[in-house]
Amino acid sequence: MSDASALQAPTTVSFWQPKVLLPFLLTALIWGSTWLVIKDQIGTVPPSWSVTWRFTLAAVGMFALAAVRRDSLWLDARGMKLALAIGVPQFALNFQFVYRAEQHLTSGIVAVMFALLLVPNALLARVFLGQPVTRRFLGGTAVAIAGIALLLLHEFRVAPPEGRIGLGIAFTLAALVCASSANVIQAAGPARHYPMTSLLAWAMTFGVLVDVAISWALSGPPQVEWRAGYFAGIAYLAIIGSVVTFPMYFGLLRTLGAGRAAYNGVLVPVVAMLLSTLFEGYHWTPIAAGGAVLALAGLVLALRARKA
């Protein structure tokens, strides 16, 4: 299959096929819960080291999965460059920013903001893959941004005097750009020529190397919290939230394309906001509720336009 035909193929795949729908729903439900678990990982341990432990275990798990699937554990030079290009922004920079964002914002709010991943996805796909951006997409995006603005206004109003909401927003936006660049690379033609688990395993390995460098530079020698809940959280995020979900999500990127796969970003924040309400004591106000409705409605409009 040529690169051009590989890019066109996703538009013919039905979203309602079980092989597409089941991983889509499972990924959304798991990732909706990971935002809350991340919150528990940023207590006494610096965020950088928590990210490092997560993806160290995830890389080991991904190599094990590749071995079980009998995928080649080695990539050629082009494959290694792709793994590096995916791993550094996705498994290092993205999560370094996300974990820091959750120091200043509730997990549900970060998840809702992260649903805007489709915006840089679409813009980068327009620049590098030649995929069009429609006016309907821009209109839906504007509605979603208005909704998220209302949610953030609520955050500013209820934040304590020492709260640093602006910094949390900045970290989330930086994470969005990093994740989007990795998404577009993974959705492009060259990445389709390599086994997904092997590519992800090496991408996570390169990400961990950068994570270690960032952690040591910012926080000093390795640190860990000797608490059962902390280790359980690392295991959940690494195995369930990474080894199980990333192959499914990157499979959706290859099957549906970056635009349609981004529907995942609508369901994830719904799960995250529900869990934030239950476990973080998130208090809904008319402004927050209206913002959530606008954000989700705008995302659906934007994605429907993107699909068209």
Torsion of CA 131, 132, 136, 141, to 10 degrees: 60
Other C-beta atoms lying within 10 Å of the C-beta of residue 19:
11
80 has pLDDT over 80: yes
What pLDDT score does 5 carry? 37
Dihedral sign computed on CA atoms, order 275, 109, 219, 30: positive
302 has pLDDT over 80: no
Task: State how far the Cα of 165 lies from the Cα of 113, in Å rounded to an integer.
Answer: 13
Domain spans of the chain? 13-307
Residues 141-182: tens digit of each pLDDT? 788 888 888 888 877 777 665 667 889 889 999 999 898 888
Lowest mean pLDDT among 45-54, 71-80, 184-193, 281-290: 184-193
Task: State how far the Cα of 146 lies from the Cα of 291, in Å rounded to an integer.
Answer: 7
Task: State how far the Cα of 82 lies from the Cα of 206, in Å rounded to an integer.
Answer: 11
- Span 126-147, average pLDDT: 77
Cα separation values, 224 from 49, 102, 177, Å: 8, 18, 29
Residues 204-256: tens digit of each pLDDT? 999 999 999 999 999 999 999 999 999 999 999 999 999 999 888 878 877 77
What pLDDT score does 4 carry? 37
- Span 40-50, average pLDDT: 90
What pLDDT score does 9 carry? 43
Q: Give the model's confidence band at 7: pLDDT under 50 very low, under 70 low, under 90 confident, else very high.
A: very low
Torsion of CA 139, 145, 146, 149, to 10 degrees: -170
Q: Give the model's confidence band at 124: pLDDT under 50 very low, under 70 low, under 90 confident, else very high.
A: confident
